[in-house]
Amino acid sequence: MASSLRIRYQTIEFGDMDIHVRTLRDKQEFSDDDDVAGKLGISSASWPIFGTVWASGEVLAHLMCDFQIAGKRILEVGCGIGLSSLLLNHRHADITATDYHPEAGNFLAANTLLNKDNAIPFMRTGWGDADCGLGKFDLIIGSDLLYERDHVELLAHFIEQHAKPLCEVIIVDPGRGHAARYSKKMVSLGYTHTQMRPAARALPAQPFPRGHILRYQRQ
C-alpha cells in the first residue's frame, strides 16, 4: 500500500463481535503510481470506492452476523473493504472474497491480521473475465454491486458461473435503479426472488432510505 495514503482505524460492533477495519481516511484518497488501476479502467475518481465502509456493506455484515453458515461454501462478490468476509471469517465460515480493485486483496489481508484471524482466500477478478477457477458456491453475497445498467448482465453471468445448482444469492442494494432488471434476469435463470427492508438492528449509522435486501434462491 502506498505510503501517501491516509488511513483510519475503526471498530464496528455486531452483537457480541467486534470487527476491526483499516480503511481509507476518506473518499478522496488515490495512489496509482504504476498505473495498475488505470490499466484496469479504474479512474482516480472511482479508485477509493473499494476502501471505505458503505451503508450497504454494513447492512450485509449485520445480516451475516447470525446467518446459517454450517456446511456452506460462501463467496463475497465485489467485496471492497470486505466487512462481511471479515465477519464471516471471524465466525469460521468457509468464505472466499473477490474484487476487481488491485488493492482490495492487500487491505483484506491486513484487516484479517488486525482481527487475528486466519487468511481469507481472495482473487482479483472482473465479472466479465474468463473463468478464474474459483469453483462453485452454496451462498453468494454482495453489497452495492449494481452501479451501472450493464452491471445487470455482467453480475448475473458471474454469479451463474459460480453458483451451485442449489444456491442462494443475497445482495444489499441501496436503490440505484437497476434492482428490478437484475431480479428479472435472476428469475430467468431459475431463481425465486424476495426483497425486504433491513431489520432495525441492521440499519447502518449512514443514511439508507431506499435500500433493500434482495434474496434469490434456486432449489
Q: Is residue 43 part of a domain?
A: no
Q: Is residue 198 part of a domain?
A: yes
Reduce the secondary structure of the chain to three states and give it as a string: CCCCCCEEEEEEEECCEEEEEEEECCCCCCCCCCCHHHHCCCCCCCHHHHHCCCHHHHHHHHHHCCCCCCCCEEEECCCCCCHHHHHHHHCCCEEEEEECCCCHHHHHHHHHHHCCCCCCCEEECCCCCCCCCCCCEEEEEEECCCCCCCHHHHHHHHHHHHEEEEEEEEEEECCCCCHHHHHHHHHHCCCEEEEECCCHHHCCCCCCCCCEEEEEEEC
User: In which residue are the cell numbers 484487516 written?
Assistant: 111
Q: With 80 as the cut, is the pLDDT of residue 3 above it?
A: no
Q: What total number of domains does the chain contain?
A: 1
Residue 170 confidence (pLDDT): 98
Give 203-215 pLDDT, tens digit per residue.
777 888 889 999 9
CATH number at residue 179: 3.40.50.150
Q: Is residue 21 part of a domain?
A: no
CB 100 within 8 A of CB 40: yes
Q: Is 44 left (phi over 0), alpha (psi -120 to 50) or beta?
A: alpha
Q: Is residue 110 part of a domain?
A: yes
Q: Is residue 19 part of a domain?
A: no
Q: With 90 as the cut, is the pLDDT of residue 82 above it?
A: yes
Give 102-131 pLDDT, tens digit per residue.
999 999 999 999 999 999 999 999 999 988
Percent with pLDDT over 90 in the chain: 88
Range of lowest pLDDT (2-6, 16-20, 91-95, 180-184): 2-6
Q: Is residue 145 part of a domain?
A: yes
How would residue 219 be classed by pLDDT, with cut points 50, 70 and 90?
Answer: confident
Q: With 70 as the cut, is the pLDDT of residue 2 above it?
A: no
Give 33-65 pLDDT, tens digit per residue.
899 999 999 999 999 999 999 999 999 999 999
Q: Is residue 23 part of a domain?
A: no
